[in-house]
Amino acid sequence: MQSSGHRFRDVEHHPLLADNESYDSSSSSSEADMAERVWFIRDGCGMVCAIMTWLLVVYADFVVTFVMLLPSKDFWYSVINGVLFNCLAVLALSSHLRTMLTDPGAVPKGNATKEYMDNLQLKPGEVIYKCPKCCSIKPERAHHCSICKRCIRKMDHHCPWVNNCVGEKNQRFFVLFTMYIALISAHALVLCGFQFFSCVRGQWTECSDFSPPVTVILMIFLCLEGFLFLTFTAVMFGTQIHSICNDETEIERLKSEKPTWERRLRWEGMKSVFGGQPSLLWINPFAGFRIRRLLLRGKKGGPEFSV
């Protein structure tokens, strides 16, 4: 199909939107407008998984604080470990929120129009692609997510535990989320080991404010949770760092896509994701956060809210 001296290729052979065809203008937005919104995917499975993540972290915090640390006779042991664990928990949940509520790099819906293509100022013969599912011009390295119902730039994967895609704009927060969850899981396992040793040595007298059977059940469940979370998030953290250093998303790796872009390897890739030179801002999930007046607006026919 020829249009304004360049070719338009439809990935699934769907026709380009004609001038007289209309689409829901409320589902189309500019990049600047999208950047000013809080992103939220209305997916039942994802919301359940996200709530479960928060409940499991809160449970771990309850067991560590009220079962192990507060009954301890060592004041500084309780204070130091309590402050450390709760700080890591806050950072983990903040990273989770930033991952879940940040636009991962969604391409505006319905922008595959003649007027929009004319504004692109493409060279004669240049091929562009349209996603037939969301009627948008598909940039290089973008993939369509069937759950978000959007094309996502540099989409790595869709993670139900954060109820969002991991893409160009929120990968940094996802990496921080996996890192902090792995750290609090390891910390909880170490504290459980010390607590079991202390309780056995003291024959379970004054070991906890709870009865010995309840204490054992709570701590066993925490150990299982900590081991599973540590294994999963440590693997995900390593996979994400590897992908960033090789400038290759998980989808591109699984599809064995040959790179048509100039790769940013190792530190260049890390700096492109985390921003700037290495600093403490890299591990700060609050960096770049601005408090805005939140105005909740539903998207008609779409899976996401815009705030």
Give the residue numbers annotated as catalytic, written as ranges.
Answer: 159
Q: Are 128 and 6 in contact (CB under 8 A)?
A: yes
Q: Are 91 and 180 in contact (CB under 8 A)?
A: yes
Structure tokens at 146: 């069937």
Distance CA 159, CA 78 (A): 35
Structure tokens at 13: 């052979």
Distance CA 241, CA 175 (A): 8
Distance CA 219, CA 83 (A): 20
Give Cβ neighbours of residue 176 (< 8 Å, ≥ 6 apart).
91, 95, 98, 283, 285
Q: Are 286 and 94 in contact (CB under 8 A)?
A: yes
Q: Are 259 and 248 in contact (CB under 8 A)?
A: yes
